[in-house]
Chains A and B, each alone.
Chain A
Amino acid sequence: MHHRGQAFRFDSRNDCCRRQARKGMLAFAKRMAPPQTTHAPSAASEKASRTSLNIRTRLRPILFSVGDCVFLLVIGAVAAMVMRLIDSLAWNAVLTWVVGMALAMLAQTILAFAAAPLLGSIETMVPSMVLTMLCPMALDLLEMIGADLGWSWSIGFGAGLGFAMFLFVEIYGVRCRKSPHRLGVRR
């Protein structure tokens, strides 16, 4: 605080001085600022915001599709790895299939829970569960008919099944959106 009769000297450590300086700067900034408009945003800015919204709206399903695809590729590969691991124990074919499928589903459930916040709970759980049912079954069947795939081919086969499942889900999704009678009753 400066006292009456005392010449005012700016002191940055002094609260009062700092407040007055801030007030002065605000007033200066107000004078220098371009006049505020109260009318609606210009057509150009509206068009730009609409374009950005359109891009986001179009990009959204593409990003989710990419996410779904990567997730199903991973699930297919993991299911094949688990099955291959159980297969290396040289158990009975039925036991290998049951234990392999159970462990693959356990891994799938954990991965689906991990991906759920990003890709959605049902959206991750349902197709990946079908995939982990099919993948060990298909690998076991191939084993039974004498086609012994190595580790890398098994994983590739699992990822391929994952991609096939992704395509199936995409096509089925388009058909559901295009023909609402598929979805249920309309009375």
Chain B
Amino acid sequence: MSRIWDLRARLYDVCEGSDLRRGPAKAELFRHMRGRVLFLAVGTGLDIKHFPPGLDIVGIDISEAMLRRADPRARLYAGNLKLLHMDAMGLAFPDASFDTIVSSCTMCSVPDPIRAFRELYRVLRPGGSLLMFEHVRSRNPIFGLALDFMTLWTRLGGTEMNRNTLENVVAAGFRITQIESAYLDIVLAIRATKEATNHRFNDTIPTHRHCLSAARAR
């Protein structure tokens, strides 16, 4: 997996970053970063310029080539930003060690997203926030089908376009507090929280129908 991302690092900024279009939406989401922050899959550091200044941030990535490219951008950050080579599915941090966890187009590329979310749940302190800028499968059948079709070849490059990240977040025990559209119902700015009370992981992944009926009942 890391080898694929080492290769993709070369063209990431040009072809995949899409910063010109998504930059303001990311900046708006990242405004909610507080305290000690864990930034997942920092990549080439394209998002660093949107970080609010003066924070204590740890950026991790599975690819060393990405981290090498991110290093000059990390040096420009007006705060404390440390880059580490680490896998999101096995975080080497103690429990409840971060106030905010942030991801940007990450969960499409993690082989086992629920395992990764459970790791995030572990390292986030109770009451802490999870901020995600992620693309998910569209609920529109036409766009959903197109994303399923695209996944046939994007999977070879380590990216799945049709993940249901919202359900995975809930399944890992987080409570979703806000969802905003950055592009249709595909690119979303999601805010979730780890509730301060003791919460056990859901053993089953709820379906859309189940989640919606729970929301309606409330």
Contacts and interface: CB of A to CB of B under 8 A. Distances in A.
B3 interface: no
Interface string A98-128: 0000000000000001001111111101110
B14 to A, nearest CB: 5
Contacts of A173: 181, 183-184
A185 B186 contact: no
Interface of A: 60, 64, 113, 116-123, 125-127, 129-130, 133, 169, 172-173, 176-177, 180-187
A71 B196 CA distance: 48
Contact of B147 (A60, A117, A120, A126): A126
Nearest to A165: B142
B49 interface: no
Interface of B: 14-18, 20-22, 24, 135-136, 138-140, 142-143, 145-147, 149-150, 161, 166-167, 170, 175-176, 179-181, 183-188, 206, 208, 211-212, 214-215, 218
Contacts of B14: 117
Given A185-B166, A185-B208, A180 B180 contact: yes
A129 B212 contact: no
Nearest to A67: B21
The binding surface of chain A is classed by DSSP as helix
Contacts of B161: 122
Contacts of A113: 15
A94 B140 CA distance: 28
Most buried by B among A133, A177, A185: A185
A116 to B, nearest CB: 5
